[in-house]
Chain A
Amino acid sequence: MIHGEPKRPGSACQPGQEGATLGRRGFLRGAALGGLGLAALGSLGGVIDASPSAAATQQPPAKAAHQWAMVIDLRYCNGCKLCTAACEAAHYLHEDQTWIDVFTMRNASGESYFMPRPCMMCEDPPCVPVCPVSANFRTDEGLTLVNQSRCIGTRICMNACPYQARYFNWSSPRPAPRQPFPQEPAWPVPQVEGTVGKCVFCAAMLPAGKLPECISRCPMGVLYLGDLETDVAVNGLGNTVKLSQFLADHDAVKFKESYGTHPRVFYILGHGQDLDTDTEGA
Chain B
Amino acid sequence: MSRYTSANIVLIFGLIIVAIGSLLYGRANMSVMDVINALFGGASEPVTIIVRELRLPRVILGIVIGAAMGVSGAALQGVLRNPLADPGVVGVSASAALGAVIAIHLGLVAIWPLSISIFAMAGALAATAILFIISARDSSVLMLILVGIGISSLAMAAISLVMNMADNPMSIRDMIMWMLGSLENRTVTDLLLAVPFIIIGWLMMINIGQGLNALSVGEDTAQTMGIDIKSLKLRVVVGSAISVGAAVAVCGSIGFVGLVVPHMVRALITNEPGRILIPSALLGGLLLTLADVVTRMPILSTDLRLGVVTSLIGAPAFLYIIYKTRRTMR
A and B held together in a complex: no
Report which A residues bind B (CB closer than 8 A).
none
